[in-house]
Amino acid sequence: MKNVLVMALVGATLVSGAAFADADDVAADKGAIAKDNAAIAKQNDNVAANRAAKADAKATGSTTDQAVDSVKIGANKTARTEKNLEKDVDQKILNHDVKDKD
């Protein structure tokens, strides 16, 4: 969570500061957003896999495995939320760089 706050502060500073963007900055911003999207997709896949494992554990009556899978689901959801916040910051930086480029 500390990383999310740092990223938000850095992003806010970059968005509010005066800078001159070029094509390389815009390309880097788009690359960062693509990486964020890939990480979000991975977390979505992990959540789906953990939910399937939890359903199997529930079917077999293993409460311990259900609890472990629930923790994994929560961890993946938290990671997904963090990546969504990073993506939002990257999108704001991209929007700022596109405005500066014009």
Amino acid 99: pLDDT: 83
Could you list the mean pLDDT of each consecutive 10-residue stretch along the chain, which spans 102 residues?
61 56 87 96 97 97 96 96 96 88 64
How far is the C-alpha of 91 from the C-alpha of 26, rounded, in Å? Answer: 10
Amino acid 18: pLDDT: 46
How far is the C-alpha of 42 from the C-alpha of 72, rounded, in Å? Answer: 14
How far is the C-alpha of 101 from the C-alpha of 10, rounded, in Å? Answer: 20
Say whether pTM exceeds 0.75: no
Amino acid 28: pLDDT: 92
